[in-house]
Structure 1
Amino acid sequence: MQGIADYEFIRPLGESNYGTNYLANTPARLGIAADQVVVKVIAGPTSDDAFRRATRELKHFSVADSDRLVAVYDAGRHGGAFYYAMEYLPMGSLEKPNVPLDPRQSVDAVRDAALAAHALHERGIAHRDIKPANILIAEDGGRLADLGLSQLLSPGMVMTGLGKIGLEYTDPSIMLGAQASRASDIWSLGACLHFALTGRGVYGELQSTEPLLLVRSILASQPALAADLPPAARDLIADCLDADVAKRPRTAAEVAERASGVAATLAAV
C-alpha cells in the first residue's frame, strides 16, 4: 500500500471531515516504542501560512499538560499535502468501539476527554471538534484525539462546507458564526455524555447527512434529553447544553469532576 513521506501505510482507518486516517508502520526516526501509529493526511493542498498555523497548534496540543490527550509525534508536508502522526489506540472510539463497553467505561471516556479539553483550554486552545468519533478508548479510560484543524487550514470556511463533522455535537452558536471557545467545547462534551449513556445524539435521529440541511434542522430544534438518564447525568448534560453560556460549567475540569460522580453512581447500580 502507498504511504506518505517515510510512513508505510498498512490500511486506511476511515475518513474524517477534512482528511483520511491510516494505520502506518512507525519510522525508526521517531524513536518511540510503538510499532504502529495513525497518520492523518489532510485533504487538498496546504498553503505555507496554513501549514505554519496547523503545526503551531499541534505543538501546543502535544505539550499540553494532560496524559488524556492522544500523543502527537510528527507533522509535515509531502507533495503539498499536510499530514501528522499520532498514537494508535486499537480499542476504537466511543462512536465505534472495537470492544464491548459498559456505561461506566463510556462515561469514563468522556470524563477523560473533558480533562484533556481542560488542558487545551488552559493553553488558550479550543479543540473545535469534540465528538464520539474523537474520543478514543484506552484500557484506563479515554483519550481526546483529532484537534479540529479545519478552521486553521481553511480560515473563513463556513460550517456548511466542512462535510461530515459531527454537527449534532457542535454548539449551535458556532453554526451562527460564534468563535470556538471553552464554552462551545463544553457544549460538545455534554452532547457526547448523552451519547455515551444512550447511544443517541441530543437531536434524536437526524434524517439527512447533507450539511446544509443538517444545520437547518438543528437550528430549528432544541436538544431533547432521554427520559431514562440518571439524574446526575441529566443535570450535567442539561447544564453543558444551556443556551446561556454563563450557566454552563465554568471549565471542562468541572465537567470531568461531575462525570466522575455520574460514573460512581453507575458503578453502584
Structure 2
Amino acid sequence: MQGIADYEFVRALGESNYGTNYLARTPARLGIGAAEVVVKVIAGPTSDDAFRRATRELKHFSLADSDRLVAVYDAGRHGGAFYYAMEHCPLGSLEKPNVELGVAERVAAVRDAARAAHALHERGIVHRDVKPANILLAPDGGRLADLGLSQLLSPGMVTTGLGQIGLEFTDPAIMLGAQASRASDIWSLGASLHFALTGLGVYGELKDTEPLLLVRSILASQPRLADTLAPAARSLVEACLAADVTARPRTAAEVADRISAVSAELGAKV
C-alpha cells in the first residue's frame, strides 16, 4: 500500500465526512514510542489560507489541557492533499468498539469526551464533529478525536456537502446555517450520550441516505428519547438537546459532571 510524505500506510481504516483514515508506520522523526499512528488524508486540494487555519487549530488542539483528547503529532501537505497524524486507539470507537463494552464504560467514554470538549472550548476551539465514531476507546477510558476541520478547509461549506455520516449527532441549527459553537458541541454530546445508553440515535431509524433528503428528514422531526432512559439521564439529554441554547448546560464540563450523576443512577461508579 502507498503512503503520504514519509508515512507508510499499513491499511485503510475507513472514511469520514471529508477524508480517509489510514493506519501507518510511525516515522522515526516523530520521536514517539508508538509503532503505528493514524493518518487522516483530507479529500480535495487545500489552499494556503486553509492550510494555515487548519494547522493553527490542530496546534491548539494538541496543546489543550486534557488527556482525554487523542494526541495529534504532525500535519502537512503532500501533492496538494492535507493530512495529519494522530494517536492510534486500537480498541475502536463508541460507534464500533473492538471490545465488549458495558453501559458504564459507554457512559464513561462520553463523559471523557465532554471533558475533552471543555478543554477545547476553553482554548476557543469548537470541535464541530462530536459523535460516537469520534469517541475512541483507550484502556483508561474515552478519547475525543478527529477535530472537525471541514469548515476551516472549505469556508462556507454546509452540512449537506459533507455527506450523511454523523448528521443525526449534529445540532439542527448548524444545518440551518448557524455557526458552530460551544452550545452545538453540547447538543452533540447529548445525542452521543443517548446513543451510549440506548444504542439509538435521537431520531430513531433514519432511512434516507442521500444527504439533502436526510437533512430534510431531520429538520422535519423532533428528537425522540427512548422510554428506557432513567430520570437523570433523560433530564441531561433533554437539556443538551434544548432548542433554546440558553437552556442547555453552560459548559461541557457541566455535562461531564452531570454524566457522573447518570452513572450513579445506573448503579455504576465510573
TM-score range, shorter chain: over 0.9
SS of residue in 2 equivalent to 1:257: helix
SS of residue in 2 equivalent to 1:44: coil
Give the conservation status (yes or no) of the 8 Å contact 1:16–1:164: no
Write the letter of the residue equivalent to 1:78.
H
Provide the residue aligned with 1:93 in structure 2: 93
Deviation of 1:164 after TM superposition, in Å, equals: 2.9
Number of aligned residue pairs: give it: 269
1:136 corresponds to 2:117? no
Provide the residue aligned with 1:246 in structure 2: 246
User: 1:202-225, CA deviations, whole angstroms, 9 ceiling, x for partnerless residues?
Assistant: 000001111100110011000000
Q: Distance in 2 between matches of 1:36 and 1:114?
A: 26
SS of residue in 1 equivalent to 2:266: helix
Q: Distance in 1 between matches of 2:66 and 2:268?
A: 28
TM-score with structure 1 setting the length: 0.98
Deviation of 1:192 after TM superposition, in Å, equals: 0.1
Runs of 4+ in 1 over 4 A off after TM superposition: none
User: 1:151-193, CA deviations, whole angstroms, 9 ceiling, x for partnerless residues?
Assistant: 0000011211111331100000111111000000000000000
SS of residue in 1 equivalent to 2:146: coil
Q: Distance in 2 between matches of 1:264 and 1:73?
A: 36
Give the % identical residues: 82
Correspondences of 1:52-91 after superposition (within 5 Å): 52-91=52-91
Correspondences of 1:25-44 after superposition (within 5 Å): 25-44=25-44
Q: Distance in 1 between matches of 2:40 and 2:264?
A: 36
Q: Distance in 2 between matches of 1:37 and 1:116?
A: 20
Deviation of 1:262 after TM superposition, in Å, equals: 1.2
Structure 2 residue runs of 5 or longer lacking an equivalent are none
SS of residue in 1 equivalent to 2:97: coil
140-149 or 163-172, larger mean C-alpha shift: 163-172
Q: Distance in 1 between matches of 2:245 and 2:11?
A: 42
Deviation of 1:251 after TM superposition, in Å, equals: 0.2
Deviation of 1:268 after TM superposition, in Å, equals: 4.5
Q: Distance in 1 between matches of 2:78 and 2:174?
A: 32
TM-score with structure 2 setting the length: 0.98
Q: Distance in 2 between matches of 1:133 and 1:81?
A: 23
Provide the residue aligned with 1:150 in structure 2: 150
Deviation of 1:9 after TM superposition, in Å, equals: 0.4
Write the letter of the residue equivalent to 1:140.
D
Provide the residue aligned with 2:229 in structure 1: 229
